[in-house]
Amino acid sequence: MRRRRRPRISPGRIEAVLDGTAVPDFDELLEMIRSVNPTRMGLSAGDRAQRYAVKAHLQSLLIERYYEDIAIFPTTRSGVVGLRRKAGRGDACHAVVNHLDPEARELVDRGLTEKQPDDG
């Protein structure tokens, strides 16, 4: 079966989400996070830092709006968590907790201390 191609997220759409003039759904936020993620892109340090900042803000929005729908799990790196959809497919990449907005950090702390329903 041929894999469907995802539509490209425009920088203007991301800016509208970041400034609060657009409200994306869960799937669009996931796609935005993945599209700005600079990991393994070979970017300059400045471009990488800027993209990580945008990624952290988008991840904060995802956590704050859809906390009940995501699983938050520790990684092998201190201060870094993984984010994924609880039901179905959907990865929101790794998140550096200290780079998230304050409300999102609190929710991450809560998510790490609560037993996640899909943890078994």
Alpha helix (H) residue ranges in 1-120: 11-18, 26-36, 45-66, 102-113
Does 67 score more than 90 pLDDT?
A: yes
Taking the C-alpha atoms of residue 32 and residue 77, their distance in angstroms, rounded to an integer, is: 24
Helix (H, G, I), strand (E, B) or coil at 25: coil
pLDDT in tens, 82-109: 999 988 777 778 999 999 999 999 999 9
What is the predicted pLDDT for the residue at 120?
Answer: 47
Q: Which amino acid appears at position 72 of this protein?
A: I
pTM of the model: 0.84
pLDDT in tens, 25-52: 999 999 999 999 988 888 899 999 999 9
Annotated domain spans of the chain? 11-114
